[in-house]
Structure 1
Amino acid sequence: MKEQLYNQLVSQAQSLVSGEHDLIANMANISALLFNQLEDVNWAGFYLYKEEQLVLGPFQGQPACIRIPMGKGVCGTSAETRTVQRIADVHQFKGHIACDAASNSEIVIPLVLNSELVGVLDIDSPIHDRFSEEDEVGLVKIANILMESQQ
């Protein structure tokens, strides 16, 4: 079931960014796609790496933290280590930054282009352990599509 969903989302993401090289415009459309198509998600969006920190980018959901220091919270950890962070219970994550008290699980995918950190894709859910390995694989593909649109 999830594999079919992500095949659709990957195809839709490719269509949305096809021929468009503006990063902010593509992030806006992808955040809207993910927020509206994924079940049990209360925030989907991007943080951009600027001035040695993460700065809020296009997103869907409640207002969010504007700046996140590198290495802080799930997003800052993903950005600093350039690894996917799939957290079943954010309240157990050391240094978690609670932008929305309703969030209980989170997945963050680092965005890297030509070995340079661009930012992160961040998705939150009110459901504990919402994100599976299938979600991770599908979301990494979508993040890669976004980065390929910048080349």
Structure 2
Amino acid sequence: MVACALLEPDIPQNAGAIIRLGACLGVSVHIVHPCGFVLTDRHLRRAGMDYLDRATICEHRDWPAFQAWRTAAGRRLVALSTHGRIALHDFAFAPSDVLLLGRESAGLPLPVQQSADAVLRIPLAAGNRSLNVAVAAGIAVAEALRQIGDLPRP
């Protein structure tokens, strides 16, 4: 099943919104530490509301630990970056993909992007820099689930 991973998130409200997204769409959310907040932060809980208890959250102590898990699990790493060369809608997603999003303040470091199997971008109207990380996660997760036919049905 597609998963979403947050590399060293630094805004608890965005992490809470992404965890809520994961709960609503049935996607696990991986938190790669260190975070800029504790996971019990009131802002995270407020954004995630009661969905936090419904979410599957996996924590990794750091980037090497996350990479070790991903490699052992045979999961493909699909990074999202404003510097991505492949448009999100032109990429063929697979059920084992892990969608990686960077810190709100800095994005994904180049070495992390280079370790990804693919680096995607969400096309934006001319003159715009980037989307909020939670919005980007929602767009990317929905597209991945749509492609593999795994969107939840009412």
| TM-score w.r.t. length of structure 2 | 0.29
Considering fraction of residues, name the structure with more strand. Answer: 1
